[in-house]
Amino acid sequence: MPNPAQQPDLFANTPAWTPPAGLLHLSGLFECPEQAELAVAVAEIARRAPFRHPRMRGKGVFSAAITNCGDVGWWSDEKGYRYLPGQPDGSGPWPAIPDAFRRAVGRAVAGTRWEGFAPDACLINFYGPDAKMGLHQDKDEADFTQPIVTVCLGDAADWMIGGPARADKATAFRVNSGDALVMGPPARMLFHGVRRVHAGTSPIADLAGRYSLTFRKAL
């Protein structure tokens, strides 16, 4: 068996990847107990506003299932992409954004130029082992000077960030449970997505799969 200490380090000369200006990757921001608390809060939201697979603008459904909390929630169906004041089946408003979510957002933007960011919507994605999200821009919000803050829970994933045009080259980097991403100008309108999920890597006992909590100022 080769001695690992004698193996060449294949990555030793690889320059570290630098995220584009405006995109912060806050690795390991939340410890395991906080991750578990956030996952419990997601389960409570999903009890009141179940995860659903929205229809894509073209054919088919999104492979990630979604729900929302906040004053409005993002939705997609044959009428297009938009924020709805209540659940798509007419069963009532979206649950309020829980305090644990607001504290998490506050931690993510602390010390950044988006300190004080006050989201009015949180789109929650659930990724099973085969779910992904194609490159897209978030452009259904009223004010693009406001950031989007994402909290990652459960399985790790390969996150993609591209340029201002869909055809621009995208770079993938790994996000883990407990990481946060803050995407503000000039990165706010960059194409981004999730290439794949690393199934079975969730450190949260009751979560098999991946949640992303994506906080927005939609109105």
Ligand X SMILES: O=C(O)CCC(=O)C(=O)O
Nearest approach, Cβ of residue 15 and ligand X (Å)? 25
Shortest spacing between CB 67 and ligand X, in angstroms: 12
Q: What are the structure tokens assigned to 108, written together? A: 């993510």
Q: How far apart are CA 87 and CA 95, in angstroms?
A: 9
Q: How far apart are CA 43 and CA 50, in angstroms?
A: 9
Residue closer to ligand X (CB basis): 25 or 192: 192
- H helices of the chain, where? 32-48, 99-109
Token pair recorded at residue 219: 């109105």
Residue nearest to ligand X as judged by C-beta position:
212
Find out whether 46 and 214 touch, Cβ atoms under 8 Å.
Answer: no
Residue closer to ligand X (CB basis): 41 or 194: 194
Residues that bind ligand X (CB under 6 A): 123, 125, 133, 138, 150, 159, 192, 194, 212, 214
d(CA 75, CA 217): 15
Task: Give helix 99-109 / helix 32-48 axis angle, nearest 10°.
Answer: 130
Name the minimum Å distance from CB 207 to ligand X: 14
User: Which residue lies nearer to ligand X by CB, 8 or 181?
Assistant: 181
Residue 185 C-beta: closest distance to ligand X, Å:
17
Q: In whole angstroms, give the CA distance from residue 182 to residue 178.
A: 13
Q: Which residues contact 49 (CB under 8 A, 6 or more apart)?
A: 67, 68, 69, 73, 87, 94, 95
Give CA–CA dist 62/33, Å, rounded.
30
**Shortest spacing between CB 1 and ligand X, in angstroms:** 38
| Closer by beta carbon to ligand X, 87 or else 212 | 212
Rounded to the nearest 5 percent, the helix, strand and coil shares of the chain are 15, 35, 55
User: Quick one: 36 or 133, whose CB is closer to ligand X?
Assistant: 133
- Cβ nearer to ligand X, comparing 202 with 214: 214
Query: Please, what is the minimum distance in Å from the beta carbon of residue 2 to ligand X?
Result: 37
